[in-house]
Amino acid sequence: MKFTKRDFLSPSSTLRPVNDFMSWNVDDVDLSDLDFWRRPWAEREAAFAALRAERPIAFYEEPLLKGSAIELPRGAGYHALTRYRDVATASRHPDVFLSGPGAVSQFDLTPELVEYFSGMISTDSPKHARLRRIVSNAFNPRNVRAVEDSIERVASEVIERAMSSGTGDFVVDIAAPLPLEIICAMMGVPRSEHATVLRCSNVILSMDDTEFVPEGTDPILAVLEAGSTLTSIMEEIGRYRLDNPIDDITSALVNAEIESERLTHQELASFFVLLVTAGNETTRTAIAHGLLALSQHPDQKARLLADYEPLAKTATDEIVRWASPVIWMRRTLSVDYTLSGQDLKAGDKVLLFYSSANRDEEVFENPFLFDVGRSPNEHYGFGAPGPHFCLGAHLARREITVMFREILQRTPRMEVTGEPSRLASSFVNGIKHLPYSF
């Protein structure tokens, strides 16, 4: 099947088709080539549409890791799962599709690195079930309600600061500060450390983007140093909260004991690294894509301006589907398994492409249409159903909903004024900078 420019509308334009749109031959698609991820968004989406139609479980060699003194063995490659139903199957069978071996990166991390970043995202049961049980207990209704009650206040303060002394960069002024301040407040991180937390989370998720890891810098060492910095912050806060607990998430985590189980210092630190990277980056990305989409689709913005509350829930989920902040997540097979007629072997890696699943024509009607009233909308923007579904999905939805209520009510003429600067990454669909005006 061939796709032409008539089949797609550019995510960078409201009405016009992509100029000089290419028809993809699936043999020319290389998901391991970073240059592919530097292509215009519409071209990448067209490539995934071709894969879903012709080669939904495609095999790729692993990318080469360059510029590091730490050698990671190049693995045997991975299978890209691009259809919604295959991503769902893998997610619902965690006993077959494991998260632990080699972590969830494309590369197999060394045992030392796996232990260092051994948060819930890179573990399997019974350890995963134990960690999730302890952490979920800390996110009890009282603690979550206290966090949610602060979102409207923080969102209002963020808008006020942007209006009075903004930089003209929506990510810097609005999209990044809201989740950052919420996450830091949850964990008791002092404001003096906010900039450090943001910088470290950017480095950890940067991949090959030279804005965050400059050329000549060892990428693995940069990630390790960023992780070490975040760990040190959390260990200091955790030690203090053991003896001086208050009603915050950190106090609940360090003092939680369920059936004689407690988090170790390393587990607490790993959870904090996961929380500030995933909880910060994904919500920031969704909010940035949300403003971009509303600027490019003024008819949808008009719908929200006319009657926000009835559309708030569906609009938030459509923003998350549209953005698909986390593009993929890796799993490793524990046994031989046949998926949609394709034989996979024990030890094989698969990448679950959530972004592609969220455009699957078999599931979503007009998937390339941004529709704030879309229903149903069972997207995988927070991962697919299963034990690793995002623990913070409810909080992220709340932050997005509140922020766009603030924007549309207080600054309804806010719009994007230039092209976004996108993160050079296959993992996070990030927007680094987004010019805007009120």
- Do 20 and 84 belong together in one domain? no
- Which helix (DSSP H) or strand (DSSP E) does residue 203 occupy? helix 194-204
| Residue 17 or 29, more confident | 29
- Look at residue 9 in the predicted model and tell me its pLDDT: 42
pLDDT at 112: 64
pLDDT value at residue 22:
63
Tokens of 308: 């926000």
pLDDT at 36 over 90: yes
Write the single-letter amino acid at 154. Answer: V
The mean predicted confidence, pLDDT, of the chain is 89
CB 182 within 8 A of CB 151: yes
Which of 271-286 are b and which e, b meaning 16 or more Cβ less than 10 Å from the residue's Cβ? Answer: bbbbbbbbbbbbbbbb
| Among 286, 437, 438, 310, residue whose Cα is nearest residue 372 | 310
Residues 228 and 246 in one domain: yes
3 has pLDDT over 50: no
Residues 30 and 150 in one domain: no
One domain, residues 277 and 318:
yes
Over range 299-321, report the average pLDDT: 98
- Cα(415)–Cα(298) distance, integer angstroms: 10
Together in a domain, 1 and 117: no
Q: Give the CB-side neighbour count of residue 231, counting CA atoms within 13 A.
A: 17
Instruction: Name the pLDDT band for 21 (thresholds 50, 70, 90).
Output: very low
Range with lowest mean pLDDT among 134-143, 296-305, 320-329: 134-143
For residue 13, is pLDDT > 60?
no
* Mean pLDDT score, 242-247: 84
Residue 241, pLDDT score: 87
Q: So what's the pLDDT on residue 195?
A: 95
41 and 131 share one domain: no
Q: How many CB atoms lie within 10 A of CB 168?
A: 15
What pLDDT is attached to residue 272? 81
Residue range 152-192, pLDDT digits in tens: 999 999 999 999 999 999 999 999 999 999 999 888 899 99
CA–CA separation, 60 and 33 (whole Å):
10
**Residue 33: domain span:** 1-50
pLDDT for 331 beyond 90: yes
The answer on pLDDT for 335 being more than 90 is yes
Count structural domains, the chain: 2
Mean pLDDT of 204-216: 89
CA pair distance 128, 23, nearest whole angstrom = 43
Q: For position 10, what pLDDT does the model report?
A: 39
| Ordered DSSP codes for 292-360 | HHHHH-HHHHHHHHH-HHHHHHHHHHHHHHHH-SB-EEEEEESS-EEETTEEE-TT-EEEEEHHHHTT-
- Local confidence band at 147 (pLDDT 50, 70, 90 cut-offs): confident
CA distance linking residue 248 with residue 240, whole number of Å: 13
Q: Which residues pair with 352 in a beta bridge?
A: 81, 329
**pLDDT value, residue 115:** 64
Dihedral angle of Cα 72, 76, 80, 86, to the nearest 10 degrees: -110
Considering the domain architecture, whether residues 258 and 350 belong to the same structural domain is answered as yes
Q: What is the pLDDT of residues 267-286, one digit of tens each?
A: 888 888 888 888 788 899 99
Distances (CA, A) of 305 to 94, 173, 362, 377, 398: 42, 22, 31, 21, 18
Do 22 and 163 fall within a single domain?
no
On whether both 72 and 101 belong to a single domain, the answer is: yes
* Residue 19 pLDDT > 60: no
Q: Which of 74, 50, 71 is nearest to 63 (CA)?
A: 74
pLDDT digits (tens, 9 = 90+) for 363-419: 999 999 999 999 999 999 999 999 999 988 999 999 999 999 999 999 999 999 999
Residues 102 and 141: their CA atoms lie apart, in Å, by 34
Q: Are 69 and 218 in contact (CB under 8 A)?
A: yes
Do 198 and 123 have their domain in common? yes
pLDDT tens digits, 61-80: 998 777 787 777 778 999 99
Lowest model confidence (mean pLDDT) among 90-99, 192-201, 238-247, 401-410? 238-247
- Predicted confidence at residue 7, as pLDDT, reads 42
Same domain for 280 and 161: yes
pLDDT for position 103: 80
Mean pLDDT along residues 124-141: 83
Strand partners for 80: 58, 351
The reply to whether 29 and 80 lie within a common domain is no
Give the whole-angstrom CA distance, residue 413 versus residue 251. 42
Rounded-to-integer distance, Cα 356 and Cα 87, Å: 10
The CATH number of whichever domain residue 364 belongs to comes to 1.10.630.10
pLDDT (0 to 100) of residue 251: 85
Residue (of 18, 103, 129, 2) closest to 368 by Cα position:
18
Residue type for position 87: V
How sure is the predictor about 296, in pLDDT bands with cuts at 50, 70 and 90? very high
Tens-digit pLDDT profile for residues 417-434? 999 999 999 999 999 999
> Two tokens at 188?
């008791």
> Which pLDDT value is given to residue 258?
61
pLDDT at 110 over 90: no
Return the closest-CA partner of residue 292 out of 6, 45, 14, 19.
14
